[in-house]
């Protein structure tokens, strides 16, 4: 067997192994569980319907995000997740990564998406 054939064979094996390894993906969020997270951690700013009109959200500058707005509805899941995890500079939005479990964050995201309808 030539060196070229052995190299090609080794690459095929490595690529096959990489393709069979599942990627680490967070479990999909549960909106019912997310509602509890939202009510405890998000409602004060974002309000009961996600309009940014919670008791604290009304006085924030800039105001809390309104999940029912056209601009918010255009945001992808990845964009929303990034904001939840990392916060938003120059706003009151804190970074929840490390404060909430990854699953609680996914659950909160699932619930927020129900408010966008």
SS3 100: strand
**20-68 pLDDT tens trace:** 444 445 579 999 999 999 999 999 999 999 999 999 999 999 999 999 9
pLDDT in the model for residue 49: 97
Distance CA 55, CA 78 (A): 28
Q: Model confidence at 14, in pLDDT bands (50, 70, 90)?
A: very low
**pLDDT value at residue 27:** 78
CB-neighbour burial class of residue 52 (10 A; exposed 0-12, middle 13-18, buried 19+)? buried
- Domains, in order of start, for the chain: 27-115 (1.10.760.10)
CA angle, 80 then 76 then 27, to 5°: 70
- CB of 37 within 8 A of CB of 107? yes
Dihedral of the alpha carbons of 27, 29, 30, 34, in degrees to the nearest 10: 130
């Amino acid at each position: 067997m030539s060196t070229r054939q052995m190299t090609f064979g080794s690459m095929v094996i490595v690529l096959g192994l990489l393709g069979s390894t599942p990627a680490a993906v967070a479990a999909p969020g549960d909106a019912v569980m997310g509602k509890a997270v939202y009510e405890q951690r998000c409602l004060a700013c974002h309000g009961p319907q996600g309009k940014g009109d919670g008791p604290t959200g009304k006085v924030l500058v800039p105001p809390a995000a309104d999940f029912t707005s056209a601009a918010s509805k255009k945001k992808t899941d990845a964009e929303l997740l990034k904001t939840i995890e990392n916060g938003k500079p120059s706003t009151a939005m804190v970074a929840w990564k490390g404060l909430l479990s990854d699953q609680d964050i996914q659950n909160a995201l699932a619930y927020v998406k129900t408010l966008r309808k």
